[in-house]
Structure 1
Amino acid sequence: MNNAQLINKSIQQQSSTNDCRLELNSLFLQWRGNRTQYEIFDFVFNKNGYTCQEMFIFCRAGPRHFDCCSAFEATFVMLRGRHERLLQAGMVAHLGDSHVEVGLYPLLYLTVNNWNHLHFVQRKVSMVPEKNLCSTDPLNQGKSTCFVYNWVNRVMVPTLNCTLPFFKTMLPYTANLSVCEPLSVIGNYYHITSKRIRNYGCLPACERVENHWQITSNIDERALAQNGFGFEASFNELEYEHYLETHTTTPARFISELGSQCGLFVGGSLVTLIQLLFTVVIFTFGFIRKAYRTYIAVLLVIRT
């Protein structure tokens, strides 16, 4: 097959793909009717989507069973949409923080009929803001806050000039944007979902809480429901580590260290003060005595 035939075949495939998209878009618009794009999103995901009760079999904290839906809520992951339940025998869990923005990473792949143990170590980090290695800007406070903000404003909005339905009410800076039509999202899908990480210039928050984790998995011998996923999360000893960054040298500390090298101490005792005055008196007396012998005593001898 020569190059001309390959180009012709590629054009035919592209034309067929575009025709399929236009046909599906026509059917979608017919089904949507007079409803807005956000109303369709609400109808599909919130009113007729998978519920929390369908997601979890049971939840337990130690010996106590509790309602899973009182501890978990649906959220939306950047470029991945709503995360609750998948049909295939596998599950992806994204790890976020207390902020609403959830990025692509870190994520966990959970295998069906495996019991997964996730152990967290929480660290509180307090950095000195003056070094420009951290930020106090509100857009840098969450783990993925800055990344999601830059992706929305530097990739999605310039490309589509609209926002995704789940961002509409979740992110304040997208409130004035219209909701994207499916056809425009599909047409630019590979561009807006590119894995190429741009230079967003995001800095960690100066005051932040980090959850470091380690996961172990083993085949569950107990009788779980068919295609069930066992997931256990815990913090080691219910403690957290505090890392505090401080200035290595302050003016008071510098004086103290310098004085210790000379045998002096800031806030010396009364004995130290008396010794200092005694030294000054001896030095002054010696200087006066030397001057007297050198100048005054010689003049008296000459006059005699």
Structure 2
Amino acid sequence: MRWLKKRPEKAYCRLLRENTTFHGIRDSIATGGWLRALWICIIFLASMAALIGCGFIVWEFNNRPLSVTYSIRENVSLIIPDIIICPFNRFNKTYLNYWNVSDNLAQYLELAFPQASQHPFQYKSYKNLIDKINELEEELNKLLLNIGISFAEFIDKAAINCRAFFVNDKSICDNSKELMSMTGKCFRIKGEEQKIDGNGHPQKLILNLPTKLFNPAPNQMLNNGILVKLAERNKGIDHDMSFIPAGVHAMIQLTATRFEFKHYPPHFLCREEEESYSRVWCFEKCFLEEAEKKCNCSLAAASQPGSPNICTPRQFFNCFYIVLQFTNASYVDDNVAKCKTICLPPCRNWRFDKTISYANFPSEIAKHFVKDKTKWENLQNTIILDVFYTTLDYTVIQQMLTITPSSFIAQLGGQISLWIGGSIISVIQLIIYLISYLFVYFRRTRQETIKRMRENRKRRKSELFNIEKNKKEIALEGGLPEPAEIEILCQKEKRKIKRKNKKEENEGEEISSKLKKEIKIRKRRRKIGKEIKFDSSQKSDKNNVENSDYNYEMDDVNCITARV
């Protein structure tokens, strides 16, 4: 076991050979020759295959963590989404006439809703209102002062009430909610529960458009009908919308899709489910927040105003529009991109796909039942909506982890076990033995290095001590050591002098000055050497040579050399 004392780290190699469960290691150690070479090749190829397999698993886990699954689920019943109805009118003409609002001021009020003109014949009126903006603003302030309300209260009261549209069933408005949009005030009607497939039990809505109450506007959509949006119950709206003309019986057939995504950055980002979260509302708040703070007012069309004050048309053009910098396309694009990163799509939500079909209502044959001209005109402005699911099943689009953490670990273990027969314990064992081997090896080499340095330092001190001792013996006793022994003591210094001289010759710099200095040193030391004289007739033992005269001197390395 001498090898173990000299190299203690070998003990860990022996432990690995005896205890490891990795296939082929024991066989490669126990055999020899071509068979050992074969086993080494097999172990190498198996290890490379295990590494490649583990690499593919890690790459798949990092780059393709999510997969999408589709499934169909059937329910006993489904909730019809909330139906949002937006008439193409903003103000009640009867209310404006009650307060003696002039025609120019009535159209000026429409500019509080920032929507461009739709047709060329509206441009002239729009431009005339902009030219008179200061005059009409003063008239508006006088009107509000006379009524004694704010502009926000005026916008709310001047809009057409929900009951004006649902004449036949006014109870619908009791459960509806009001919200503002570019077209004016909209009404959100709660969806009902459908328990039978198809058109058996749809949610039916009958609207009568009170066209006599409509106020014309230079920036309004002059369509004869309504705008319909669908939204998940108790959730925010999205960009879904459809036009329904007046005088039709429309059937809105629905199919539902359920999305269940995972917030898994950086591969997919979404907003965890929150009560009444809407990406449209979030984007609106992000995009308009700075302008609302600086102008201290919100747009009349804001679905969720950030300020209790509503911007008048002059405030919109002189402040709100300038802060938003619509003329600077790059600024608007940057602002939109920033808001998109903030307002992520919801992780779980419903999408309702619509198929709309309609027929004209009423038909000419209905005149047989309606003799009154006014009633006939009202029927022509009637819209009937039937909203229903074609089937009570829905599609589920779900994101799932391609490889779960437990599956990831299991697959890595399977690759290692398949190719090299290892396990977690085997890998930990290998790491422990490797770290222990390196620790003992470096500790041993460090100790040996320190020991050699100490021995060299001790030897150098001993040599210097012997040289000084020889000097003193020569000077005091008058005896001389053997010339050969003196040469041995001075070999090291002579070699240093030779290397130094050779370097000086190669460099060729300052040779003359160094030679002069060397001559002076030699003369000085010759002078010192002459002071040490010995009797040539004195008999000596082993330290002297008979019938020989020696002249000793101190050379330029401070050691004694013998010259015959």
Question: What TM-score, normalized by structure 2, do the two folds share?
Answer: 0.35
Q: CA deviation at 1:205?
A: 1.0
Structure 1: which 4+ aligned runs deviate by more than 6 Å? 13-16, 188-197, 255-264
Measure the CA separation in 2 of the matches of 1:251 and 1:14: 63
Match of 2:379 among 225, 238, 245: 225
Structure 2 residue 306 is matched with structure 1 residue 174: yes
Name the residue aligned to 1:114. Answer: 248
Q: Where do 1:142-161 residues align within 5 Å?
A: 142-154=278-290, 156-157=291-292, 160-161=295-296
Q: CA deviation at 1:256?
A: 6.2
Name the residue aligned to 2:142. Answer: 30
> Gapped runs of 5+ residues in structure 1?
1-12, 60-65, 265-304
Structure 2 residue 163 is matched with structure 1 residue 53: yes
Letter of the structure 1 residue corresponding to residue 310 of structure 2: V
Q: Is the 8 A contact 2:247 2:360 kept in 1?
A: yes
Structure 2 residue 208 is matched with structure 1 residue 76: no
Deviations 1:181-224 (A, max 9, x none): 33212556877697977222232111222222222233345558
Structure 2 residue 154 is matched with structure 1 residue 40: yes
Match of 1:239 among 359, 376, 393: 393
Q: Match of 1:225, SS?
A: helix
Q: Is the 8 A contact 1:117 1:217 kept in 2?
A: yes
Q: Is the 8 A contact 1:98 1:142 kept in 2?
A: no
Q: CA deviation at 1:30?
A: 1.2
Q: Kindly indicate which of the two structures has a greater share of residues assigned to helix.
A: 2
Q: Where do 1:281-300 residues align within 5 Å?
A: none
Query: Structure 1 residues 257 and 115, CA, compared in 2 at 3 Å: closer, same or farther?
Result: farther
Q: Is the 8 A contact 1:140 1:205 kept in 2?
A: no
Q: CA deviation at 1:32?
A: 0.9
Percent identity, aligned pairs only? 17
Q: Match of 1:74, SS?
A: strand
Deviations 1:127-150 (A, max 9, x none): 111233212275993242322222
Structure 2 residue 294 is matched with structure 1 residue 184: no
Q: Match of 1:106, SS?
A: coil
Name the residue aligned to 1:141. Answer: 277
Name the residue aligned to 1:20. Answer: 132
Measure the CA separation in 2 of the matches of 1:181 and 1:100: 30
Tell me which structure has the larger Cα radius of gyration.
2
Q: Is the 8 A contact 2:255 2:390 kept in 1?
A: yes
Q: CA deviation at 1:107?
A: 1.7
Query: Structure 1 residues 67 and 133, CA, compared in 2 at 3 Å: closer, same or farther?
Result: same
Measure the CA separation in 1 of the matches of 2:226 and 2:325: 20
Q: CA deviation at 1:247?
A: 0.7
Query: Structure 1 residues 36 and 112, CA, compared in 2 at 3 Å: closer, same or farther?
Result: closer
Letter of the structure 1 residue corresponding to residue 179 of structure 2: T
Q: Is the 8 A contact 1:123 1:211 kept in 2?
A: yes
Q: CA deviation at 1:24?
A: 1.6
Q: Is the 8 A contact 1:140 1:203 kept in 2?
A: no
Deviations 1:90-146 (A, max 9, x none): 22223344457546x322111122222212222222111123321227599324232
Measure the CA separation in 2 of the matches of 1:19 and 1:189: 18
Measure the CA separation in 1 of the matches of 2:127 and 2:394: 58
Q: How many residues align?
A: 235
Letter of the structure 2 residue corresponding to residue 185 of structure 1: F
Letter of the structure 2 residue corresponding to residue 164 of structure 1: L
Q: Is the 8 A contact 2:180 2:186 kept in 1?
A: yes
Return 231-240 or 106-115, whichever deviates more. Answer: 231-240
Measure the CA separation in 2 of the matches of 1:76 and 1:218: 29
Query: Structure 1 residues 115 and 230, CA, compared in 2 at 3 Å: closer, same or farther?
Result: same
Aligned-pair Cα RMSD in Å:
4.2
Name the residue aligned to 2:229. Answer: 94
Q: Match of 1:179, SS?
A: coil
Q: CA deviation at 1:72?
A: 3.3
Letter of the structure 1 residue corresponding to residue 141 of structure 2: L
Letter of the structure 2 residue corresponding to residue 56 of structure 1: F
Name the residue aligned to 1:164. Answer: 299
Query: Structure 1 residues 113 and 14, CA, compared in 2 at 3 Å: closer, same or farther?
Result: closer
Q: Is the 8 A contact 2:228 2:244 kept in 1?
A: yes
Return 252-261 or 128-137, whichever deviates more. Answer: 252-261
